[in-house]
Amino acid sequence: MRIILLGPPGSGKGTQAQLLVQRYGIVQLSTGEMLRAAVAAGTPVGLKAKEIMASGGLVPDEVVVGIISDRIDQPDARNGFILDGFPRTVPQAEALDELLRHKHLKLDAVIELRVNESALLNRVETRVAQMRERGEEVRVDDTPEVLTKRLASYRTQTEPLIHYYSERRKLSTIDGMMAIDEVTRAVHRQLLALGAVEPKTHARSAAKSAPAKKAKATKTATKKAAKKPAKAAKKAAKPAKTAKKAAKKAVKGAKKAAKKTVKKAAKKTVKKGSKKGPKKVTKKRAKR
């Protein structure tokens, strides 16, 4: 499953991406993290990016696409991935399409989390005010002023992607102003409708059934293992049993044959004796 989450800053993309990772066992690919990892690993693309960043330049799209290409070839990305922070522009989306086509992969879904910008600004203002009241430090990039600039950048650069993916029938729009769990359920329903996940895929049921399946498999394996020696012993005992039976039969046959021979010999002797007796008597009588 390969997904892109679209939405302005504060729309909840990061939260939903993490939930999708946990639920479907896929990886979240952040361009920033991938860039840092490639530089640290010293890959050819990473070294090129390091040189550009060292000179204060922006990493060009072809370098970022090269880093993504290397990353999705890794074993943990085989089940799928969520792209975080890429593509940001239409040219990047076109480059990604070309990359996936070259690797014989397809993009399953592009999910837009649509939010009300005024509501987002109100949320940030409220959060910042509460943090200041508690005496907590407010991040410089987490203020209404910074958010306003980021929203303007999103409208200019990234919003055209909505039209781009809509034309290609890849776009699904979800109300990002709902509660987090409601957005999660809506994303899951949309992925089901698109055929990106199996109908029975559910994190809780999978988590519950996994130990049961494991126990069942172990029980079956143990049962089979226990049966195997018994079966082997039975098989080994079979020739011995057959030999015993044959020996018994041979002894019985020998006894029967011996008995028959003795009986026959005795009968012959008796017969011979009876023939000799009367002849002697006759001779004596004749002499007289």
Domains in the chain: boundaries: 2-26+79-201, 214-288
Return the pLDDT at 173. Answer: 95
Question: What does each C-alpha distance from 102 to 89, 99, 105, 264 come to in angstroms?
Answer: 20, 5, 8, 97
Known catalytic residue at 23: no
The active-site residue, picked from 139, 168, 234, 268, is 139
Burial class (CB in 10 A: 0-12, 13-18, 19+), 144: middle
Return the pLDDT at 240. Answer: 53
| DSSP 8-state class, residue 134 | T
Strand partners, 82: 3, 28
Return the pLDDT at 218. Answer: 56
Known catalytic residue at 150: yes
Distance CA 269, CA 256 (A): 20
The active-site residue, picked from 36, 88, 114, 123, is 88
Prediction pTM value: 0.62
The active-site residue, picked from 36, 114, 123, 150, is 150
The active-site residue, picked from 36, 114, 123, 127, is 127
Residuewise pLDDT in 10s, the chain (288 residues): 899 999 988 888 889 999 999 999 999 988 878 888 888 888 888 888 888 877 777 788 888 899 899 999 999 998 899 997 889 899 999 999 999 999 999 999 999 999 998 988 888 888 888 888 888 887 777 788 888 888 898 899 899 999 999 999 999 999 999 999 999 999 999 999 988 777 764 444 445 445 555 555 555 655 555 555 555 555 555 555 555 666 666 656 656 665 666 566 556 655 555 555 554 444 444 443
Return the pLDDT at 10. Answer: 84
Q: Which residues contact 164 (CB under 8 A, 6 or more apart)?
A: 90, 93
Known catalytic residue at 204: no
The active-site residue, picked from 13, 48, 50, 170, is 13
CATH topology of domain 2-26+79-201: Rossmann fold (3.40.50)
Return the pLDDT at 165. Answer: 96
Helix (H) or strand (E) segment spanning residue 162? helix 160-167
Return the pLDDT at 144. Answer: 84
Return the pLDDT at 231. Answer: 58
Return the pLDDT at 287. Answer: 43
